[in-house]
Amino acid sequence: MLLGSQYSVTSSLLHKENNVPKGCDAAIASVDLRNADNIVVLKELSEKFKGAKRKIFIIDQKARLFSAQAYALGATHVLFNPVTARSLLAVLADPNAIEIADDTAQGARGAASAGAASLALMFDAVLHGQPIDLVDAKSAACRISECVAEEGLSEWLEVVRRHHEGTYQHCLLVTGTAVAFGLNLGLAEADIERLYSAAMFHDIGKAKIPLAVLDKPGRLEPGERALIETHPAAGHSILKGTRGISPEILHAVRHHHEYLDGSGYPDGLCAESISDLVRILTIADIFAALIEFRQYRPAMPRAQAYEILDRMHGKLEAPLVKAFREVALNR
């Protein structure tokens, strides 16, 4: 039993009689959201669990795009199978859990959940060949920006790593880190907006990558690595021609894995062809990838992650890496 003897647990099957105890602190639903009947029952049960501070949905990795549906049903947390005791207990022990069933939830938890829901909707739209809701995505990214400006990067990183997983966790970490970096550099408001929009969209091409490769818990084979490296061009192709996506953001989506020395991908660009927006985003992207939590490895300490950035001589712009030190270690 994942919860051990620390909690009093009552369980029942979804379609059977559900006797919810009074004062229930957390509701955990392990459910297939691809089944419309399950969604109907969950909606009927939502009133009974209204007082629960934590509403945890556990869904299968192969159905992870349904996390948007989970948030719409009132989830405060979404975990993907296989769930470990560590991840579940961390959620249950969270003293800062708040209800986020609507868009009025405040703070980092609300902003992170809104961002994750928006990312889930974007990935689902790509998977089904539908247009991306740019207004929703930019609104969620703006909310992240405001949260980081008000509460700081450390709070943002802690909340995201505690409550979100996989590609969504990474995109949220990149967006928050990029905003904190832009603010530290003193960028104008319009540039901050371009930066958080680019960060929010930068990995949309991963919607085209099979989950078996995208979430593989270990070293990738050469063919799998090559497949992963198609995501920047795929993201550019997805967004190209979409009204509301500026050329600067398209450039950032396609080139966030390019290096100044020409050793990056997909186009092997050199310094003169890489915009300032991309140079900033690339640093945030690498840093976020290093410090994110994954079930098969712990999050790397921020100081160690910065040391790796600092050793990437010739690949990243040295003055920007130096400026990022304050963000990486102290924000």
- Cα separation, 103 vs 318, in Å, equals 40
pLDDT at 228 over 50: yes
Q: How many CB atoms lie within 10 A of CB 40?
A: 10
149 with 130, same domain?
yes
Distance CA 250, CA 213 (A): 25
**Whether the predicted pLDDT of 84 surpasses 90:** no
Same domain, 119 and 96: no
Do 210 and 273 lie in one domain? The reply is yes
| Together in a domain, 227 and 260 | yes
Do 98 and 120 share a domain, yes or no?
Answer: no
Q: What is the CATH number of the domain that holds 53?
A: 3.40.50
Q: Which of 57, 76, 102 is the last residue of a domain?
A: 102
Give the residue, 327 or 20, on which the prediction is more confident.
Answer: 327
| Domain endpoint, select from 102, 124, 143 | 102
Q: Is the pLDDT assigned to residue 22 strictly greater than 50? A: yes
Once rounded to an integer, what is the mean pLDDT over residues 296-305? Answer: 86
Q: State the chain's mean pLDDT as an integer.
A: 83
pLDDT score of 10 more than 60? yes
Residue where a domain terminates, one of 49, 67, 102: 102
| Residues 63 and 212 occupy one common structural domain | no
Q: Are residues 19 and 41 in the same domain?
A: yes
Q: Are residues 219 and 312 in the same domain?
A: yes
Residues 50-65 have pLDDT tens digits of 667 778 888 876 555 6
- CATH number, domain of 245, equals 1.10.3210.10
So what's the pLDDT on residue 97?
43
Tokens for 278, please give them.
């991309």
pLDDT above 70 for 280: yes
Comparing CA positions, the residue from 96, 90, 131 lying closest to residue 112 is 96
- Give the residue numbers spanning the domain of 260: 104-330
Same domain, 40 and 125: no
pLDDT tens sequence across 144-165: 999 999 899 999 998 888 767 7
115 shares a domain with 63? no
pLDDT category at 204 given cuts 50, 70, 90 is very high
Higher-pLDDT residue of 171 and 66 is: 171
Helices (H), 8-106: 36-45, 67-72, 85-92
CA distance 140 to 125: 16
Give the residue ranges of DSSP H helices in 101-188.
107-127, 134-151, 153-163, 166-185
How many independent structural domains does the chain possess?
2
Q: Give, in degrees to the nearest 5, the angle at Cα 207 between 202 and 210.
A: 130
Q: What does the pLDDT read at residue 220?
A: 86
- Confidence (pTM): 0.71
How much is the pLDDT for 42? 80
Q: What tokens appear for 190 in the block?
A: 């319009």
Please indicate whether residue 12 or residue 232 has the higher confidence score (pLDDT): 232
Q: Are residues 205 and 98 in the same domain?
A: no
pLDDT digits (tens, 9 = 90+) for 95-137: 444 333 333 345 888 888 888 888 888 888 888 888 888 888 9
Question: Same structural domain for residues 8 and 34?
Answer: yes
